[in-house]
Amino acid sequence: DQQVKQNSPSLSVQEGRISILNCDYTNSMFDYFLWYKKYPAEGPTFLISISSIKDKNEDGRFTVFLNKSAKHLSLHIVPSQPGDSAVYFCAASRIGSGDKLTFGTGTRLAVRP
């Protein structure tokens, strides 16, 4: 049972435009959400996170939006740069569950120059 879903395996965007990556979850107990970025042959690196008490968190070019009623979150990258080309994973956790993250299957973002 995939509790965190990224339904778009890939996304291609022109440099300078907005990239929107989407993530859906089914477990209403999740209360903390994270986005990770992964380059080939490297481990995932933390990008941005959001607590369930918020609906938006911004860090530079990256903004995460959370819609709890729809159990949906999205990552916006504006403007997109070629260096953003990577696989993006969303992940969810339940505070108090210890160090356990439930990941989506990832979306491969390609930013075209």
> What are the residues binding other proteins (CB under 8 A)?
4, 6, 32, 34, 36, 41-46, 49, 89, 91, 93, 97-106
Q: Which is nearer to other proteins, 69 or 99 (CB)?
A: 99
Q: Which amino acid is at 60?
A: G
Q: Rounded to the nearest whole angstrom, what is the least distance from the CB of residue 47 to other proteins in the complex?
A: 11
Q: Rounded to the nearest whole angstrom, what is the least distance from the CB of residue 80 to other proteins in the complex?
A: 23
Q: Rounded to the nearest whole angstrom, what is the least distance from the CB of residue 100 to other proteins in the complex?
A: 5
Q: Which amino acid is at 86?
A: A
Q: Which is nearer to other proteins, 3 or 74 (CB)?
A: 3
| 88 DSSP β-pair partners | 37, 107
Q: Which is nearer to other proteins, 15 or 49 (CB)?
A: 49
| 48 DSSP β-pair partners | 35
